[in-house]
Amino acid sequence: MDDQTTEGSPEATEGAGPGTAAGAGSATDAADSGAAPSRRALLGWGGAGLALGAVAAGGTVAAVRGGDRIEPAAESGAAVPFHGTHQAGIATAVQDRLHFASFDVTTKDRAELVQLLKDWTRAAERMTAGRTIGEGAYGGVAEAPPDDTGEALGLKPSRLSLTVGFGPSLFAENRFGLADRRPDALVDLPGFPGDNLDPARTGGDLCVQACADDPQVAVHAIRNLARIGFGKVAVRWSQLGFGKTSSTTPGAQTPRNLFGFKDGTENIDGADPAALDRHVWVSAKDGAGWLAGGSYLVARRISMRIESWDRTSLQEQEDIFGRDKGEGAPVGKAHEHDKPNLKAMLPTAHVRLAHPDAHHGVRMLRRGYSFTDGTDGLGRLDAGLFFLAYQRDVRDAFIPVQQSLARSDALNEYIQHVGSAVFAVPPGVRDTGDWWGRALVS
Amino acid sequence: MRPARLSVVSAIAAVAALTAVTGCTEKSDSKAAAGAVRVTADDTSCDVSKKEFPSGHVELAVENKGSKVTEVYLLFPDDRIVTERENIGPGTKATLTAEVKSGSYEIACKPGMKGDGIRQKVTVTGGTAAARSPEKDAAVAAYRKYAQEQADATLPKVKVFTDAVRAGDIEGAKKAYAPSRVGWERTEPVAESFGDIDPLVDTRADGLEKGQKWTGWHRLEKELWQDKKLSPDAPGLADELDKDLADWQKRVGTAVITPTSMANGAKELLDEVAAGKITGEEDRYSHTDLVDFKANVEGAQQSYELLKPVAVKNDAALVTELGKQFAALNTLLDKYRAGGAGSGEFVSYDTVREPQRKELSDAVNALAEPLSRLAAAVVK
């Protein structure tokens, strides 16, 4: 196959130097008290849960600058604060698991869409705090199905973050009167050479990214939001992910992708406000005021030809990436974090093509995951990388980088892009009176 | 097909706890006891000797003075049968007995053994009375009537199908197949509450247990569409289908139906759609799934409409949502009608492509989710 597309690994946007470790011991609030509370314990907590939120939300610009959303080394059971200037799940330290869902809005009624966003927000506040939604999973009316599906009972909050995005199709003329609010930067992605996009894995009006350290907690969140949404939205496609392929806490060990290579060595540090402001957060000056404090998300399902890769010689594998397999050092260097000498790499090497130096310093914040959906009918691993990248403007970031990779990347022989979507990710929910997308649809 | 439903089982338990009655008819036409309620039936009347009697052991001494064979029933307010006696010939007597709790009941005589019968309200006094809601009783009685009507209307349609099978008329049988299933599909949760009938008439090849003989609609469906010829067993299978469905018709009035089982039955009908029709598994040879689909939705809607007066008091928003989602699903289904509005004919499901199936599935989800809350709105 000649599929040439790219961006197989989050090498794509390496920064210049190693990021600062975000402080291995600086656990946030909930984690400070030692073992995180279980969901069951939180059921009775109401007030305490709110207090946690208040500390985290802080509300002031100063607190935000100081690292709102940053929660680098929280214990894996802790709760990630839901409220803030930015949505959790972007700069937040990357959790171990993902359930990502794309939805079509089926209602034509704007008021219903607004109500859905409010209902989702209230449910997300509860679930991210480790609480059940509605009246809980048991103890209600015997004749009715419980409000909460119950599979997360007894589990810790597990750093669940829920992040919402709006696809270009939501802004279509004659739908919800949002056509004039579509940001210029929310473009439809162009076709890239080698793309083999499955419509059933592409696009969507809304997305929800659920990240957690426990897959059951992430799946519970998407399942319950989908349930709340029936009749107003329908799941278009969804993707489970495991084994984060990049880290927003660069001090931690760099994760490897399914090709066995270290990825995201120098991803944007979630605790580096300057880099976030420059490359990730949309500014009011960028155009659409409602999106200030938000970001743009590109999601790509990248299928990997695992068996072919595994039969490829070590030399070729390393040449293709431009790094060695053991240490992760760039070609000709000794250590993973050594500054790469791009000219020493093959012109088609993945790192060389994806590096910020090849793209006027452009960077994206990547938080993709490996996936495997078992095997296909031929016994081949149905696996790959679910690429997720946040950026301030896709026209400066993902699109040019991907065009370059799609054209030349040596990795294209082993990967193929089979799903694609782009979303405008609104700013954070400020407090319990606020809701996802309020500034857009109000 | 599936084993007894949870909702049916729990409904039985609930009803047993509430009303408690063992109805039985005496085997012989022995003389009535002194305290018996005398029921004098003829072709136009149904007189009872007393309209109020104490709870406990009750005996009805029936005399048919008319010219037609009659039946006599003691009925709950929701039309469920407390006790009954069929085939009481002109000039003959019969005795019915039952243990009855206090409350309101009806005695019905059915000259010619047809229709709703001639009814008399009676009151049983003393003891503890089961609390009843006239609105809920009316809903259950109306649904029971609907279930009976569906069964009654189904038998002649099945006969068109089975006659064609017996005659070796493949085209005629194919044409009659889907219409013969509509009444069954509309009332499937009630039909399935008779756990012994469902496996005989509505089992698919993959639902067979080891050693189970495959009978019923889907076996014949396979012969007609896949094998394209009728096997030597076909006439016998047709006979069995007639017989098993006649059994259903006869027993449908005795099904335990409660407001809760009606509401959950409506939701189960949508589950049937989601499990078998959306996937095209139900009628995998004939691809007439959309006919069954529509019938399931109609049956669910019937339950909903009958329960609406109760539900609207407890959850008006839910009723509004259900009305909207039933309409949306029906509008969507109308797009697939083959013979014009009201024809009952739908396009072959193998022509319905994946994105369209997704759209149907989304509409089913949109309806089934609020429908799952109907029972709670009814029992509040």
Chain B residues with CB inside 8 Å of A227's CB? Answer: 369
Contact call for B367 and A145, based on CB within 8 A = no
**Among B69, B95, B125, which residue terminates a domain?**
B125
Residue B175 and residue B89 in one domain: no
Mean pLDDT, residues A372-395 taken together: 96
How confident is the model at residue A270, as a pLDDT? 92
Residue B176's contacts (CB-CB under 8 Å, 6 or more residues apart) are B157, B160, B161, B164
Helices (H) and strands (E) in chain A, counts: 12, 9
Chain A residues with CB inside 8 Å of B260's CB? Answer: 143
Residue B244 and residue B354 in one domain: yes
Say how far apart CA B271 and CA A149 lie, in whole Å: 17
How confident is the model at residue A255, as a pLDDT? 86
Residue B286 and residue B370 in one domain: yes
How confident is the model at residue B67, as a pLDDT? 92
How confident is the model at residue A36, as a pLDDT? 44
Confidence of residue B32 (pLDDT cuts 50, 70, 90): low
- For the purposes of burial, counting CB atoms within 10 Å of the CB of A80, is it exposed (0-12), middle (13-18) or buried (19 or more)? buried
Neighbours of A150 (CB within 10 A): 14
- Can you give the CATH number for the domain in which B77 is found? 2.60.40.420
Q: Which is higher by pLDDT, B246 or A77?
A: B246
Residue B212 and residue B325 in one domain: yes
Residue B161's contacts (CB-CB under 8 Å, 6 or more residues apart) are B173, B176, B177, B179, B180, B220, B238, B241
Confidence of residue B84 (pLDDT cuts 50, 70, 90): confident
The string of pLDDT tens digits covering residues A252-294 is 678 899 999 987 777 899 999 999 999 999 999 998 999 999 9
Chain B residues with CB inside 8 Å of A143's CB? Answer: 260, 263-264, 375-376, 378-379
Residue A67 in this model has a pLDDT that exceeds 80: no
d(CA B120, nearest CA chain A) in Å:
34
**Residue among B358, B366, B376 whose CB faces A231 most closely:** B366
- Contacting B with CB below 8 Å, chain A residues are 104, 106, 141, 143-145, 200, 227, 230-232, 234
Closest residue by Cα to residue B261 from B364, B181, B191, B361:
B191
Q: Which of B353, B358, B367, B371 to mutate to test the interface with A (most CBs of A within 10 A)?
A: B358
- Detail the DSSP E strand segments found in A154-294: 161-166, 206-212, 233-244
How confident is the model at residue B173, as a pLDDT? 98
Least confident span in A209-223, B189-203, B308-322:
B189-203
**Residue among B260, B369, B376 whose CB faces A231 most closely:** B369
Say how far apart CA A255 and CA A369 lie, in whole Å: 10
Concatenating the DSSP letter of every residue in B99-153 gives EE-BEEEEEEE-GGG-SS-EEEEEEEESSPBPP--HHHHHHHHHHHHHHHHHHHH
Residue B240 and residue B291 in one domain: yes
Say how far apart CA B355 and CA A17 lie, in whole Å: 48
Pairing of strands B52-54, B46-48: unpaired
- Can you give the CATH number for the domain in which B319 is found? 1.20.1420.20
Contact call for A231 and B375, based on CB within 8 A = no
The string of pLDDT tens digits covering residues A150-180 is 999 999 999 999 999 999 999 999 999 999 9
**Among B125, B156, B181, which residue terminates a domain?**
B125
**Residue among A145, A200, A234 whose CB faces B372 most closely:** A145
d(CA A330, nearest CA chain B) in Å:
46
Residue A70 in this model has a pLDDT that exceeds 70: no
Residue B241 in this model has a pLDDT that exceeds 80: yes
Assess contact for A246 and A94: CB atoms under 8 A.
yes
Residue A39 in this model has a pLDDT that exceeds 90: no
Residue B309 and residue B365 in one domain: yes
Averaged pLDDT of chain A? 85
Residue B287 and residue B188 in one domain: yes
Say how far apart CA A317 and CA B73 lie, in whole Å: 84
The string of pLDDT tens digits covering residues A298-329 is 999 999 999 999 999 999 999 999 999 999 99
**Residue among A106, A144, A232 whose CB faces B376 most closely:** A144
**A181-219 per-residue burial string, b: 16 or more CB within 10 A, e: under 16:** bbbebbeebeebbbbebeeebbbbbbbbbbbbbbbebbb
How confident is the model at residue A16, as a pLDDT? 35
Chain B residue whose CA is closest to A232: B366
Q: At residue B23, what are phi and psi to the nearest 5 degrees?
A: -95, 140
Chain A residues with CB inside 8 Å of B362's CB? Answer: 104, 106, 234
User: Which amino acid, A330?
Assistant: P
The CA dihedral of B347, B348, B352, B356, to the nearest 10 degrees, is 50
Chain A residues with CB inside 8 Å of B365's CB? Answer: 230-231, 234
Chain B residues with CB inside 8 Å of A104's CB? Answer: 362
Q: Which of A108, A119, A143 to mutate to test the interface with B (most CBs of B within 10 A)?
A: A143
**Residue among B260, B325, B358 whose CB faces A143 most closely:** B260
Residue B117 and residue B65 in one domain: yes
- Contacting A with CB below 8 Å, chain B residues are 260, 263-264, 321, 325, 354, 358, 362, 365-370, 372-373, 375-376, 378-380
User: Which amino acid, A171?
Assistant: F
- Detail the DSSP E strand segments found in A245-320: 295-304
pTM of the complete model: 0.81
**Among B72, B98, B125, which residue terminates a domain?**
B125
Closest residue by Cα to residue B165 from B214, B225, B235, B256:
B235
Residue B219 and residue B303 in one domain: yes
Q: Which is higher by pLDDT, A188 or A26?
A: A188
Mean pLDDT, residues B237-242 taken together: 98
d(CA B354, nearest CA chain A) in Å:
10
d(CA B166, nearest CA chain A) in Å:
43
Closest residue by Cα to residue B180 from B149, B159, B201, B166:
B159
Q: At residue A440, what are phi and psi to the nearest 5 degrees?
A: -80, -50
Which residue has tokens 């009978």?
B215
Work out how many domains chain B is built from and give that number: 2
The tokens of B308 are what? 């609406």
How confident is the model at residue A301, as a pLDDT? 98
Share of residues in chain A with pLDDT > 90 (%)? 75
First-to-final CA distance of chain A? 49
How distant is the alpha carbon of residue A136 from its chain centre? 28
First-to-final CA distance of chain B? 31
Contact call for A141 and B380, based on CB within 8 A = yes
The three-class DSSP label of residue A130 is: coil
Assess contact for B306 and B319: CB atoms under 8 A.
no
Residue B148 and residue B216 in one domain: yes
Rg (CA), chain B: 23
Residue B196 and residue B292 in one domain: yes
How confident is the model at residue B99, as a pLDDT? 87
Contact call for B376 and A106, based on CB within 8 A = no
Contact call for B370 and A231, based on CB within 8 A = yes
Residue B194 and residue B338 in one domain: yes
Quote the DSSP letter at residue B70.
E
Residue B126 in this model has a pLDDT that exceeds 90: no
Say how far apart CA B133 and CA B138 lie, in whole Å: 9
The sheet with strand B46-48 has its strands ordered as B23-25, B93-100, B56-64, B37-41, B46-48
Assess contact for B7 and B15: CB atoms under 8 A.
no
Contact call for B379 and A141, based on CB within 8 A = yes
Say how far apart CA B104 and CA B46 lie, in whole Å: 17
Assess contact for B53 and B33: CB atoms under 8 A.
no
How confident is the model at residue A252, as a pLDDT? 67
Say how far apart CA A17 and CA A427 lie, in whole Å: 28
The tokens of B243 are what? 């017989």
The string of pLDDT tens digits covering residues B156-188 is 999 999 999 999 999 999 999 999 999 999 999
Mean pLDDT, residues B247-267 taken together: 92
Q: Which is higher by pLDDT, A398 or B131?
A: A398
Averaged pLDDT of chain B? 88
The dihedral of CA B346, B351, B355, B357: what is its sign?
A: positive
Cα distances (Å, whole numbers) of residue A51 to A56, A135, A252, A434:
9, 21, 30, 17
The CA dihedral of B239, B240, B246, B248, to the nearest 10 degrees, is -160
Residue B265's contacts (CB-CB under 8 Å, 6 or more residues apart) are B7, B189, B190, B299, B300, B303
Chain A residue whose CA is closest to B380: A141
Say how far apart CA B152 and CA B188 lie, in whole Å: 14
Parent domain of B171: 134-379
Cα distances (Å, whole numbers) of residue A50 to A54, A85, A432, B7:
6, 17, 9, 40
Neighbours of B305 (CB within 10 A): 17
Residue A331's contacts (CB-CB under 8 Å, 6 or more residues apart) are A318, A322, A323, A324, A340, A341, A344, A345, A349
Assess contact for A380 and A306: CB atoms under 8 A.
yes
Chain A residues with CB inside 8 Å of B380's CB? Answer: 141
Chain B residue whose CA is closest to A227: B369
Residue B26 in this model has a pLDDT that exceeds 70: no
**Residue among B365, B367, B372 whose CB faces A234 most closely:** B365
Residue A349's contacts (CB-CB under 8 Å, 6 or more residues apart) are A319, A320, A321, A322, A331, A410
Q: Which of B270, B362, B374, B380 to mutate to test the interface with A (most CBs of A within 10 A)?
A: B362
d(CA B366, nearest CA chain A) in Å:
4
The dihedral of CA B204, B209, B215, B219: what is its sign?
A: positive
Contact call for A144 and B369, based on CB within 8 A = no
d(CA A200, nearest CA chain B) in Å:
9
Which residue has tokens 């839910």?
B318
**A404-420 per-residue burial string, b: 16 or more CB within 10 A, e: under 16:** bbbbbbbbbbbbbbbbb
- For the purposes of burial, counting CB atoms within 10 Å of the CB of B102, is it exposed (0-12), middle (13-18) or buried (19 or more)? middle
Residue A404 in this model has a pLDDT that exceeds 70: yes
Residue A12 in this model has a pLDDT that exceeds 90: no
Chain A residues with CB inside 8 Å of B379's CB? Answer: 141, 143
Chain B residues with CB inside 8 Å of A141's CB? Answer: 376, 379-380
The tokens of A177 are what? 């009167």
d(CA A199, nearest CA chain B) in Å:
10
The string of pLDDT tens digits covering residues A331-345 is 999 999 899 999 999
The tokens of A199 are what? 């419509």
Confidence of residue B31 (pLDDT cuts 50, 70, 90): low
- Detail the DSSP E strand segments found in B35-80: 37-41, 46-48, 52-54, 56-64, 70-75
Which residue has tokens 């040879």?
B285
Mean pLDDT, residues B319-337 taken together: 96
Helices B289-314 and B316-334: crossing angle, nearest 10°? 160
Cα distances (Å, whole numbers) of residue A190 to B135, B193, B283:
61, 56, 43
Beta-bridge partners for B84: B73
Contact call for B376 and A234, based on CB within 8 A = no
